[in-house]
Structure 1
Amino acid sequence: MQKQDSNIVFKDYDHNQLMLLPHNLGDLLPSEHPVRVVSTVVDKINIQPIFSQYSNMGASSYHPRMLLKVLIYGYLENCYSSRKLEKAVRENIGFMWLSGMQRPDHNTINRFRGEKLREVIREIFSQVVLMLYDEGLLDIKDVYTDGTKIEANANRYTFVWGKAVKKSRERIAKQLQELWDYAAETAKEELGQPEEKFENPSPQKVLETVEKINTALQGKEVDPKVRQKLRYAEKNWPGKLAEYEQKEETLQERNSYSKTDEDATFMRMKEDHMKNGQLKPGYNLQLSTHGHFVVNYTLHQKPNDTTTLIPHMNAYRQMYGAYPETLTADAGYGSEENYAALEQNGTSAYVKYNYFHKELREENRKNREYRLLENLYYDSQKDRYICPMGQPMERNGTRTRTTATGYKQEYARYTASKCVGCPLAASCRPGKGNKTIEVNRALERYKSEAKQKLTSPEGIQKRKQRATDVEPVFGHLKQNKGMKRYVLRGLEKVEIETGLHAIAHNLSRKAAKAA
């Protein structure tokens, strides 16, 4: 002890104090520290798939198990930057212990994350989930599914819109048609060509057409504005059309993309305190959870949740060899195609549909109008409906509708015969002539079965559990882990980043339960 003049006693302090033996860094970490959970789990999983990403030529490499531990623990500790991870393995005891005092630089860490984990991150994630399942921490057979939008690491103000590209192509086609019509009227004999229609012309077609028009108008008295437009068309339109073709190839079936991350689509995100929608480049993240553990994750480039469920479930099957036994989701997934797929896969679906809650409200049940389908009696033997006045509505046709995903829906058409003069016509709202309705019999069956499940005691419990199972995971990732905006760019790298977030989240949950 050192005594001062003021009689205050301090402990001895000398930061240059030598030690007889170096510390074992593990002795400085508590036994329940999350870094130990990361190390133990990664030591148990099979990382042989990562080995195939390495070459047996050249200098020796850092061990992938060590780099994987550093990355997962980094995501658990909100350290995502490769430069910050490089600093952490030099200064942070937990990282130094995981790395065995090795010091990979940020380029090594970044290449390992972006290249070596590209094709194996889902396999590593599934191994971790199955390990937690074997320990009884979660149930992969009963899942709760929901989605959220995550902003991409892209410029919010440099974008390409599919409608703008389409209009620009149409504008060029229209102006090319006007030039051709002018030439056909001014030099019909010289042109010597039948009338043409230019729809979606190619760059080569534009050049050939402009050359024909110039040849036909040679020596003719031509409006100077036409000459100017022909020169402009020859110089600019082929390049513009080639640019539009490239943009449409990038768009595929999307309506937009960011120029700084072409895989990101502009989506409406409600992130401010007033819940005002803002269009930002992002990805649609779908999660399936159980007990706040992430069981499955997929990323999508379309903002609509309805079209994501089938590929999300297919990814689940690829990881675990079978579909889940039960799935609970909100009304954003309640489509005929999704109900049919879940039924075919043998999954018991607790999935809401539009107007599910509206139908359950007592005031709606008391004030239903006669135009609502639920008030019409269906005669299944004769395949017809009976209107409130007792008049039959016979079936007189079928309409087929194909969705954006290629799924075919059939709508049966039923028409009444005596609507004129009916005292209930005002409530029935037939419009002109007799009332006609179109009914999707398959969807009505799925909705009826879903309603029966959702209103059962088990269904009520699952509806409550969904709101407290998957949604808190999104809240934790966004608010506590800062996962409001991705760090990496491109769909492949963003999927790796999402996988690391999901693994780190699950291991943090395991560590919390063990503490």
Structure 2
Amino acid sequence: MDKETPHRKSKGDRSDKGQRSVTANKKELDAIKGRNKKWAKDQDQRPGAGNQGSKYTSNKTHYSPTDPDAWISVKPGKARKLNYLSQLSVDTANHVITDIRAYHADGKDNQQLRDIVQRLQRRLWQQGLVFENCVADTGYSSGENYAMLEERGLKSFIPPHGTFKGGPDGFGYVEGQDHYVCPQGKVIPFTKEFLDSRTRTRKKEYRARKHVCIGCPIRQQCLGESAQEKKFSVTYYRSEYFRNIARVESPQGRYMKGKRQSTVEPVFGTLTQFMGLRKINTIGLKQANKVMHLSAIAYNLKKYLKFEQKRSKSRAGRLVLEQAVKIVLQSLFWSCTRHQKTVFQ
């Protein structure tokens, strides 16, 4: 499907056989069908509600024959359309971009953090630079990421999601014995570790025996009407979560939050507004990577020129260098102009 004219057919199909096949299971397809019905009902009587482009689209059922690497993205407050996902890292000390890469737009930010950290840590080590702290927004939060950063000797300052809970309300946790204690003083022991089928994350299950809850004065309030025993699950990385939360809420964590908001966040705005990243004018993930790297190079060159030592009284040489850099970068961008895809953070 084409972003600008949904009904126009592509001249040639660039996708492979796997992309032309539906890999979603029946449960996923039924969920998409149900959302389509709800979508149609909500959009009824609105202009364009009957158009093909107004229907609910998913990467499980749709692909772009023109640019198979451009995938449909879902983000609150933004339209569902073909995008690339841009991930970058910034050195908060000198405000320069240290890494940038294009990914498929259907992934979440926290799924890309491991790849970013591995690549960045290796590059900084080769340059003799020390990577100590990882500062990011809530989108990069996950127990797996907290554990990965600790394994690499990095301090994480990533606020957890508001939905994170270390256990049921009113239940205390005994870390040494790995069990919970309910408000009535009964022990809820650990039973097993499992992989959540929906989120694909590691979790731990805690369950009380049936006789523990018999005769409990808060049984109805705690279990509900149908349950016979208390059972709940908690993330496998509970300890990593709380260590990260302690750092985020510390004075250093509040300072890091301010540094991220004042140095990292504005870089995306600069790249999209002034460095040509509002649209990607190429086809394919490799070409999108080239455009993003060119934008990052232009940004860093401007930073370099700004902080360069002035060796002469005249600024003529500096002006010539600035103009030369601008001309070279503009010619590189113009040579890449073919097909437009949107880039978002």
TM-score by length of 2: 0.65
- Aligned counterpart in structure 1 of residue 172 of structure 2, from 358, 362, 377: 377
Q: Pick the structure with greater CA Rg.
A: 1
- TM-aligned CA deviation for residue 394 of structure 1: 2.8
- The answer to which structure has the higher helix fraction is 1
CA deviations 1:55-89 (Å, max 9, x no partner) are xxxxxxxxxxxxxxxxxxxxxxxxxxxxxxxxxxx
CA deviations 1:137-160 (Å, max 9, x no partner) are xxxxxxxxxxxxxxxx96573799
Please name the residue that 1:386 is paired with.
181
Q: Is 1:504 matched up with 2:298?
A: yes
The AA in structure 2 aligned to 1:391 is K
Please name the residue that 1:470 is paired with.
264
Name whichever of 422-431 and 456-465 sits farther off.
Answer: 422-431
CA contact (8 A) 1:155 1:258 kept: no
The AA in structure 2 aligned to 1:285 is S
SS in structure 1 at match of 2:294: helix
CA deviations 1:364-397 (Å, max 9, x no partner) are xxxxxxx9535312234443211001122233x2
CA deviations 1:332-362 (Å, max 9, x no partner) are 1111221121111111111121118x98xxx
- TM-aligned CA deviation for residue 259 of structure 1: 1.6
- TM-aligned CA deviation for residue 404 of structure 1: 9.1
Change (3 A) 1:156 1:288: farther
Distance (whole Å) between structure 2 residues aligned to residue 256 and residue 467 of structure 1:
36
The AA in structure 2 aligned to 1:385 is Y
Change (3 A) 1:391 1:489: same
CA contact (8 A) 1:258 1:266 kept: no
> How many positions carry a matched residue from both structures?
261
Q: Is 1:424 matched up with 2:218?
A: yes
- Aligned counterpart in structure 2 of residue 342 of structure 1, from 118, 136, 149: 149
| Equivalent runs, 1:74-473 vs 2, <5 Å | 157=6, 165-166=21-22, 256-268=62-74, 276-291=77-92, 292-301=95-104, 302-321=106-125, 324-355=131-162, 373=168, 375-395=170-190, 397-401=191-195, 409-415=202-208, 417-430=211-224, 431-440=226-235, 442-473=236-267
Distance (whole Å) between structure 1 residues aligned to residue 108 and residue 80 of structure 2:
14
Change (3 A) 1:411 1:496: same
SS in structure 1 at match of 2:82: strand
SS in structure 1 at match of 2:102: strand
- TM-aligned CA deviation for residue 447 of structure 1: 1.0
Q: Which runs of 4+ in 1 moved over 6 A?
A: 167-170, 402-405
CA contact (8 A) 2:192 2:204 kept: yes
- TM-aligned CA deviation for residue 325 of structure 1: 1.4
CA deviations 1:470-513 (Å, max 9, x no partner) are 11011111122342111121111111111110010011123334
CA contact (8 A) 2:138 2:161 kept: yes
SS in structure 1 at match of 2:205: strand
SS in structure 1 at match of 2:80: strand
Change (3 A) 1:507 1:156: farther
- TM-aligned CA deviation for residue 164 of structure 1: 9.2
CA contact (8 A) 1:154 1:260 kept: no
The AA in structure 1 aligned to 2:137 is D
CA contact (8 A) 1:265 1:282 kept: yes
CA contact (8 A) 2:188 2:206 kept: no
CA deviations 1:407-426 (Å, max 9, x no partner) are 86241322254334533345
Superposed CA RMSD: 3.6
SS in structure 1 at match of 2:243: helix
Distance (whole Å) between structure 2 residues aligned to residue 156 and residue 415 of structure 1:
58
- TM-aligned CA deviation for residue 290 of structure 1: 2.1
Distance (whole Å) between structure 2 residues aligned to residue 402 and residue 428 of structure 1:
23
- Aligned counterpart in structure 2 of residue 490 of structure 1, from 268, 281, 284: 284
- TM-aligned CA deviation for residue 256 of structure 1: 5.0
Q: What percentage of residue pairs aligned between the two structures are identical?
A: 24
TM-score by length of 1: 0.45
